[in-house]
Structure 1
Amino acid sequence: MTGQEPPPDKRGDDGSPPPDTGAGMTAVTYLIAGMLVWGGIGWLIDRYVGTQGIFAGIGAVLGIGLGVYLIVRRLGA
């Protein structure tokens, strides 16, 4: 419309995106990666020991907990 100004550009002087862009995706990635990595390690332990998913479940929960820790530590959420 006439007389309206466009929203201010939040990019830096060099055209780079703001520093907090992608923080949500980073948080989701930490959670998923932690669950998959530690759940996979638990699955390998289950295969070695001969149990039926006990260590995989423990590993997945541990991975989610460590993912939350990384989110709080690195992103300051």
Structure 2
Amino acid sequence: MTGQEPPRKPSGDDDQPPPDTGMGMTAVAYLLSGMLVWGAIGWLVDHWVGTSGIFAGIGAVLGVGGGVYLIVRRLGA
């Protein structure tokens, strides 16, 4: 119909995404990056010391623990 205005947005809506958007991907990224970074550091220690993977495993476990800590601390889950 001619002469009609489009509907107006509510006064408080400024097209911001909800605050929890992407929290799941953030949690997965914390877990994977912690495991990869600390596992790689452990692998380097293994290479330097001459062991066969023990420090890489310890590093990966510590990385997952650090990732869980960050998830709880930053995302409040």
Q: Give the TM-score normalised by the residue count of structure 1.
A: 0.83
Give the percent of matched residue pairs that are identical in Structure 1 and Structure 2: 80
Which residue of structure 1 lines up, in the alignment, with residue 58 of structure 2? 58
**How many residues of Structure 1 are paired with residues of Structure 2 in the alignment?**
66
Measure how far apart 1:13 and its partner are.
1.5
**Alpha-carbon separation, structure 1, partners of 2:44 and 2:62:** 15
Which residue of structure 2 lines up, in the alignment, with residue 34 of structure 1? 34
Measure how far apart 1:14 and its partner are.
1.4
**Alpha-carbon separation, structure 1, partners of 2:51 and 2:15:** 54
Of the two, which has the highest radius of gyration? 2
List alignment gaps of at least 5 residues for structure 1. Answer: 1-11
- Over aligned residue pairs, what C-alpha RMSD do you find? 0.9
List alignment gaps of at least 5 residues for structure 2. Answer: 1-11
Alignment of 1:3-42 (within 5 A): 13-42=13-42
**Alpha-carbon separation, structure 1, partners of 2:38 and 2:74:** 19
User: Following TM superposition, where does structure 1 have runs of at least 4 consecutive aligned residues deviating by more than 6 angstroms?
Assistant: none
1:67 aligns with 2:38: no
**Residue identity opposite 2:49 in structure 1:** V
**Alpha-carbon separation, structure 2, partners of 1:43 and 1:13:** 50
Q: Give the TM-score normalised by the residue count of structure 2.
A: 0.83
